[in-house]
Amino acid sequence: MPSYFSPPSSLSASPLHPLQALAKELEARRLGASIDVSVSVVDAYVLPDSSRWQQGLRRVCVQCTQRAILRPDPVNAHPWWWLLWPGERFDSETAEPEVTRLLPVEEISETARRIRNILILDSTE
């Protein structure tokens, strides 16, 4: 597997703080979040809450999740949030998972906002 799937050693001293902070930001935006410290990831998902429909969020992807991975930048080793897009199987081919660089670790609020906008297709923000 590529090295971006391995938890970075530079983050192993205290991996929980930024992961918890992102999870709290996601929850503040009415999303669910789960943390897997062993691989430094936060999974965001849409909560099955009927009040969302009353608040003008009409098109919600109920079964969607988005994984944010905390990994160092390959050039300067500064931690960044990366998005993992899962692979897909088609009739005649398989698309491999992709990882997209998102934002530096400090930009937790903006990271949560972007993840929310990925999961909630008709965002009012």
What are the structural domain ranges in the chain?
3-119
How confident is the model at residue 124, as a pLDDT?
44
How confident is the model at residue 57, as a pLDDT?
52
Number of Cα atoms under 13 Å in the Cβ half of residue 98: 7
How confident is the model at residue 3, as a pLDDT?
46
Per-residue pLDDT of the chain (125 residues; tens, 9 = 90+): 344 444 444 444 455 599 999 999 999 999 999 999 999 999 999 887 645 544 555 455 545 789 999 999 999 999 999 999 877 777 788 878 889 999 999 999 999 999 999 888 644 44
Closest to 46 in 3D by CA, of 96, 58, 111, 84? 58
- Record the pTM: 0.73
User: What percent of the residues of the chain are helix, what percent strand, and what percent coil, each to the nearest 5?
Assistant: 30, 30, 40
H or E stretch including 72? strand 65-72
How confident is the model at residue 9, as a pLDDT?
47
For residue 52, what are the contacts with CB-CB under 8 A and spacing of at least 6?
Answer: 30, 46, 60
How confident is the model at residue 92, as a pLDDT?
83
How confident is the model at residue 85, as a pLDDT?
86
How confident is the model at residue 104, as a pLDDT?
97
| Alpha carbon of residue 52 to chain centroid | 20
- CA-to-CA distance for 97 and 89, rounded, in angstroms? 11
Report the chain's terminal Cα–Cα distance, integer Å. Answer: 37
Closest to 66 in 3D by CA, of 80, 96, 86? 86
How confident is the model at residue 121, as a pLDDT?
65
